[in-house]
Amino acid sequence: MNTPVTEQLHPNAIGLDARPLSDVAALLAQSQAKAASAPLDTVDPICEGAVTMAATIRAEGVLRYLAAGSSGLMAAADALELGGTFSIPAHQVRIHMAGGLPSNAEMPGDVEDISTTLTDELADLTVRDTLIAVSASGTTPYTVAAARIARDKGAKVIGIANNAGTELLQLAHHAILLPTPPELVSGSTRMGAGTAQKIALNMLSTLMAMELGHIQDGMMINLRADNDKLRARANGIVRQLTGVTAEQAASALTAADGNLKIGALVAAGARSAEAAHALLNEENGHLRRAMNRLKHKNDNINLGETK
């Protein structure tokens, strides 16, 4: 039986402990850099997975991030940022980690073999949901069992693994293979494999936000300005998008109750926050398209007035 790549010995591992720390540090950085390029080999399924995630959010479904061990930490890190970065509602994101999220520095290892808890954990899973299942080996019992349950319930499965041909990838609707090389410290998949996983997860969630219209010109435009830092950021984004003054941006955001997209449309000339909201809904939440329509409408009005 072939040893999975994630468990193989790295060519530079022999005698590693006898080398100067500076040499080892350089090898560690090089191995991480090589692992970081792995998502470039699987851009298409990442894009397809992101579209599926966006469809789940639009359908009021739930994104379920699920994994064990180090992969669970990577998955949780992405899930926990969706609210603050893109204002994805908390009730639409769920984290499932074998044994639960750790509350101290001890993370049990045996729980990844236990799948009996999944019946309860995934009891409310629906066809509108998307399961993002992560496993470096691609064979973790907890993760594979969850993918089976999700498929049986009609939910979509995004599978992320670092070994080819594994059961998780075979079960996934969107199979994301991250072909990272063996770890410099054999089997320590929190290193290279984890780095590639984090990049792939960041790509999925960011592309999902693009699909939902939450990013424009590289700016997070779906934030709700409900504290001083976010109010300042929102003000700057509205000014960047519309060319208004800081005072005008603040007034527009106040009228929009802190909603940046609505505030930008008000600043761009929408007659009210309600009208801006209706226009944005017509464009499925995409601010650029809504602003283009508003500009076209205002240009026609101005043209009519000059005749």
- Report residue 275's pLDDT band, with 50, 70 and 90 as the boundaries: very high
Provide DSSP, 125-149: --TT-EEEEEESSS--HHHHHHHHH
- What sign has the CA pseudo-torsion 111, 116, 118, 124? negative
For the chain, what are the domain ranges?
Answer: 5-212, 215-306
**pLDDT at position 52 over 90:** yes
pLDDT at 8: 83
Lookup result for tokens 């991250």: 178
pLDDT at 187: 84
**pLDDT at position 54 over 50:** yes
**pLDDT at position 110 over 70:** no
Catalytic site residue from 7, 48, 106, 112: 112
Q: How far is CA 268 from CA 28, 46, 81, 101, 217, in A?
A: 50, 35, 30, 44, 16
The percentage of residues in the chain with a pLDDT greater than 90, rounded to a whole number, is 76
Lookup result for tokens 């908390």: 90
What letters, b where the CB count within 10 A reaches 16 and e where it falls short, cover 252-270? bbebbebbbbbbbbbbbbb
- Report residue 84's pLDDT band, with 50, 70 and 90 as the boundaries: confident
Kindly report, residue by residue over 178-227, the tens digit of the pLDDT. 999 998 888 888 899 999 999 999 999 999 999 999 999 999 999 877 78
Of the candidate CATH numbers 3.40.50.620, 3.40.50.10490, 3.20.20.60, 3.40.228.10, the domain formed by 5-212 belongs to 3.40.50.10490
Kindly report, residue by residue over 133-163, the tens digit of the pLDDT. 999 999 999 999 999 999 999 999 999 999 9
Any catalytic annotation for residue 81?
yes
Give the separation between CA 50 and CA 39, rounded to whole angstroms. Answer: 14
Kindly report, residue by residue over 252-268, the tens digit of the pLDDT. 999 999 999 999 999 99
* Mean of pLDDT values over 276-304: 86
The letter for the amino acid at 239 is R
Q: Taking all residues of the chain, what is their mean pLDDT, rounded to a whole number? A: 92
If one counts every other C-beta atom within 10 angstroms of the C-beta of residue 117, the result is 15
CATH fold label, 215-306: Helicase, Ruva Protein; domain 3 (1.10.8)
Burial classification of residue 114, based on how many CB atoms lie within 10 Å of its CB (0-12 exposed, 13-18 middle, 19 or more buried): middle
pLDDT at 61: 98
* Mean of pLDDT values over 281-299: 90
Catalytic site residue from 7, 48, 60, 81: 81
pLDDT at 295: 87
Lookup result for tokens 């010109």: 217
Which tokens is 197 given?
A: 């996983």
User: Of all helices (H) and strands (E), which one includes residue 216?
Assistant: strand 215-216
Any catalytic annotation for residue 247?
no
Which has the closest alpha carbon to 212: 271, 293, 204, 138?
204
Measured in residues, the chain has a length of: 307
- Report residue 1's pLDDT band, with 50, 70 and 90 as the boundaries: low
**pLDDT at position 298 over 90:** no
pLDDT at 2: 77
| 290 φ, ψ (degrees, to nearest 5) | -65, -40
Which has the closest alpha carbon to 222: 297, 293, 284, 272?
284
**pLDDT at position 303 over 70:** no
